[in-house]
Structure 1
């Protein structure tokens, strides 16, 4: 991805591993059995995706907090108010079984992407931020869809 600094790109792509692994273990029963025996059942399929997804949604809420800190006045207050939503969404909306939780995480990450666009539009995010976030969010949502649709 042109224009994205190497370190954020590499770390962002590395952060996709649990989502990709979770999708792979949804799709391949032998891989899921191997992963469960090696790492424990919490680290395959829906368990790894939903737990890690909740953590990352909350983490990204905190990342954007840094952008809100660069704003002033009403925009800063509005930004801070918006940024509690993804973490609260992850906390309250990931119960009720893997399909419901996965669906709610998809909506949470889509909403987070809207916040990414807003902060970029306000000039508070780096110029490369939305390109990175679109790439990462697309992969996350596709991985979560594996669990929701299968």
Structure 2
């Protein structure tokens, strides 16, 4: 009986974790499609009102400073994404790998990946992570995202 109870709890825990992983995978897929599709208003709706985005240029050892490389709130974040796309130019291709989709609690999800972005003249590499928060309406919103450009 004890073994059956352990198996039941283990399989239930696995099912819950798998569903949460699928939830975050689906959220991140939708987010990525909207970002790369330049559907900026839809992307903006995915950010919490208190969201922060930070860009860390590790190779230049720049600290994140307000108004410099950190962006606060959906409007600033969308403007930063638009400028980033403009700087990358047309034809860039990004691949995420080493992805991790984790549930931190009932209200928080965590995404991490390494990435490579191929440009016409060079390749960018770094890491990317997000924290998602369930809002009072039960909708998932991005609370924080950050990426590094390591080369």
TM-score, normalised with respect to structure 2: 0.30
TM-score, normalised with respect to structure 1: 0.30
Which of 1 and 2 has higher RCO (CA within 8 Å, sep 6+)?
1
Name whichever structure is richer in helix by fraction.
Answer: 1
